[in-house]
Amino acid sequence: MSPNKDLSFLESVNKSFNLAAEAMDLPKGLARQIRTCNAVCEMKFGVELNGGYEIFTGWRATHSEHALPAKGGIRYAPFADQQEVEALAALMTYKCSIVNVPFAGSKGALSIDPKNYSLEELEHITRRFAQELDKRGLLGPGINVPAPDMGTGQRMMSWIADEYQKLHPNEINARACVTGKPVHCGGVQGRIEATGRGVQYGIQEFFRHSDDLKSAGLEGNLEGKKIIVQGLGNVGYHAAKFLEEEDGALIVGVIERDGALVCEEGLSTEAVYQYKSEHGKLEGFATGRYFKNGKEALELPCDILIPAALEGVISKENAPRIQARVIAEAANGPVTFDGDKILREKGIFIIPDAYLNAGGVTVSYFEWLKNLSHVRFGRMDRRFVEAQGAKIVRLIESGIDKPLDPKAKADLLKGPDELTLIRSGLEDTMCEAYQEIKEIHSSNPKIKDRRTAAFALAIRKIADIYDSMYL
């Protein structure tokens, strides 16, 4: 490798893993066992389109089977390759462990640009891909459970679930073969925005720790904090929208493929998103300065930079010029291993991807549980909770001898619906995982940063499972 070239995505993941493993007392060979990708399957299959056949190449990597099922998204992208899939699968293993989701890691990809195909063609291709996954034992509620990723979404997941049901008509848990489905097809409320919501909860938790804020040169809360978001896809859009509208943060920069918008007074995430959706670009938006070279905006001063698109956008080349106080990694692998080292030397606080973007898999876990139980969240206890709330209201009103404030009364009388319970579970997960990472960081002097701490937390949990297997 050229001395001026950054490590690959997979190499960066493995280097970060090795740093954490070296800081731990592990039995000989166990770190290698945990790090090694168990299996990668490359599939080439033909699909009849427009009177002829087109050959597609896809991959499914199962990084670990210390727990089953293995879990991870499927992306449709023209640049997809096996190494990227292996790196993403490894991250999924560590991510699930960090947030206490009992899955192993997997990832899939199809080398395709979805924009080049009609909806009907994409359905045909997706169903064929599902058949290929199934015949190789890479699809099933107790074996391997895909989810949406870049270039895929709810509709494609429903196609996979339907195809699996056709292939296994007697499988009562067939819907659990995939997550990220529409609600009417067995999905859960809040799944679409889950990763972005998890990013918000993770950043909120960071702001609850004064020592972490101090190390980043920040104070107070999110109100008025300047944020630049790179990538206004599903994750970046929801994270920015929630942070702006619910926490009072200022979205001072939005970076997309065609360039960037910058406005010190703050941009409306929703307005920018709608403009981009309508026009396919940022150029021409009424507010802010437009940068043709969007990468320049990565280097502008801000409190929080949220890379929420592709891996490797911050490298050894541009890391010296990054001026953010905090990097919140909403994407997978947005900072290379070499870039990470430079940022840390500059005193920039990094909230790592293996933790911060785990909202998607957390809510996928909830959806999987819903599919296995065949009961929506809230169905069993909502009315009971509302009845208990009514009793509390009556007691309070009799004690103060006057009616409660209508809003306070309504809050007490409302039982939790599925969305409320999903958000509650996700927030608790993100808060607890942050605290676990912080604790392992503070308790081990060999661990110098939160990324290493996150990997160490994952390794410790997986190592405990392997230890119990071989007792």
Please state whether 104 falls in left (phi above 0), alpha (psi between -120 and 50) or beta.
Answer: beta
- Helix (H, G, I), strand (E, B), or coil: what is residue 264? coil
Q: Is residue 406 reached through a cis peptide bond, with omega within 30 degrees of 0 on the bond before it?
A: no
Instruction: Classify residue 335 by its DSSP letter.
Output: B
Q: Determine which helix (DSSP H) or strand (DSSP E) holds 210, and give its type and residue range.
A: helix 210-215
Two tokens at 159?
């196609």
Buried b (16+ CB within 10 A) or exposed e, 47-74: beeeeeeeebebbbbbbbbbbbbbbbbb
Q: Determine the straight-line distance between the first and last CA of the chain, rounded to whole angstroms.
A: 42
> To which H or E segment does residue 336 belong?
none
Phi, psi of 270 (to 5 degrees): -65, -45
Of 83, 65, 84, the closest CA to residue 149 belongs to: 84
d(CA 29, CA 410): 58
Distance CA 411, CA 391 (A): 13
Active site (catalytic) residues: 107
Helix (H, G, I), strand (E, B) or coil at 35: helix
Contact 28, 464 (CB under 8 A): no
3-state secondary structure 444-469: CCCCCCHHHHHHHHHHHHHHHHHHHH
Comparing C-alpha atoms, which of 231, 287, 228 is closest to residue 257? 231
Q: How far apart are CA 43 and CA 213, in angstroms?
A: 47
Q: How many Å apart are CA 326 and CA 349, to the nearest integer?
A: 5
One-letter amino acid for residue 166 of the chain: K
